[in-house]
Structure 1
Amino acid sequence: MTTNLVTKQIFAMGGGGFSMEPGNPLLDQYILGLCKEKTPKVCFIPTASGDSDKYIVKFYSAFIQLLCKPSHLSLFNPHTSDFRSFLLEQDIIYVGGGNTKNLIALWKEWGLDHLLREVWDNGVILCGLSAGSICWFEQGVTDSIPGNMTVLQCLGFLKGSNCPHYDGEAERRPVYHQLLSQGLIGEGYATDDGVGLHFIGNQLKTIVSSRPQAKAYRLERIDETVKETTLEPIYLGKS
């Protein structure tokens, strides 16, 4: 964990990483590279999946091959009652995908929302994909309720809104545009699968991708009209 001048970092992925791209470690390697430690401690939080055993196994199978010390925190079967000390010991917290509405509800019930803000303030890097991306923003476009894309109020560590899987799920773009044009969601960012937004504090500093054609987008509302600006990421692979 950073002990000197604190740099607050969040890396929000639209989709990708070990669970969606098991043969493409580019985004996960980028995450590890954000830490100054040679062998960072990486804690996986799979709350949004209901702490799926298969998901946890996938995490360990991927990260034991990388230069890090992996662990996980389950809320359904916690290994400790002292979440605060455990999380403060980590260098990186990696949040998995799944049901964002359940994730937010459970985190608030366990007080994890406050603890994660504290560890972020202390220099622990926060990251994740899908639900683990949406959760850090003020609002997100979620499919947590079956059959509906809805607005979800999230933690608000980062300003604005977020929509993952922009190219992977056909309804994402039209729904985000509609919600924004109606003033039901704030301006924000959308990301294709394989794209990550790297924030320092509350400022977007770098956009990277594990897929050569993947993009990020800035969405703004101007007189009830949505302006979508394509943001070109840095491709992390060989061009």
Structure 2
Amino acid sequence: MKTRNSAFAAALLSAAVISVPASAQVAGIATADTSVVIARTKALGAAYQSIGTQYATFAQQIQQKRKEINDMNVQLDTNKDKELTQVELDAAIKAKNPLVAQIEAKQKEIGQLQDPIIKAQLYSVEQIAMKYEAAQQAVIAAKKINIILAPDAFVWAPDAVDVSAAITAELDKVAPTVGTTPPADWRPSRQGANLYQQIQQLFENAARVQAAQAASQGPAAQTPAQQPDVR
């Protein structure tokens, strides 16, 4: 799964801080972003924080193994330009450098540590997604909406056409909390996995923006527990 390497970092981010325009609808036509709707829910924010606490030891191990991999990559960087190129990696593989096998082993260990974290996050996302249709229908009825389209279906639309916040509010009512421990035989659906990836991307993008802003403002602006504002 492409979000594997940053899944635990995203688990520490609160979903409740995502902001969207005030909800309304124009001439019976509205738009909603499913991933934003679910990411904003209080239930998902609480679930991710709970998962982050539960697997805090795993996070420390993952961080340590990534540091060890980075140290090995430095040794494989033959021209010492602080960038391991594919040419350098291929040369190491051809020379059967033992560091290559060690890196692969540690990457496998990281994957094994992340698997239960990702599974727990996926499970929490799907539990909320199961309530999405009912929440959406409640908003449709309350606002007398005739059509809801995905945001990318519009070339332009006023902010008032977005009902994502209204659907999130309904989800907060019908799913105030969700479990984070899936049954032993549980497997995520393809739709759930896709939705999870979209939500992870929202968090990761927000974290990058926040990190860049903190770096530009200096050490005083860096607060480890600060939550990103995902828009």
Please give the range of the TM-score, normalised by the shorter of the 2 chains: under 0.3
Q: What is the TM-score when the length of structure 2 is the normalising length?
A: 0.23
Q: What is the TM-score when the length of structure 1 is the normalising length?
A: 0.22
**Greater relative contact order, per chain length (Cα 8 Å cut-off, separation 6+):** 2
Q: Which has the larger radius of gyration?
A: 2
More strand by share: 1
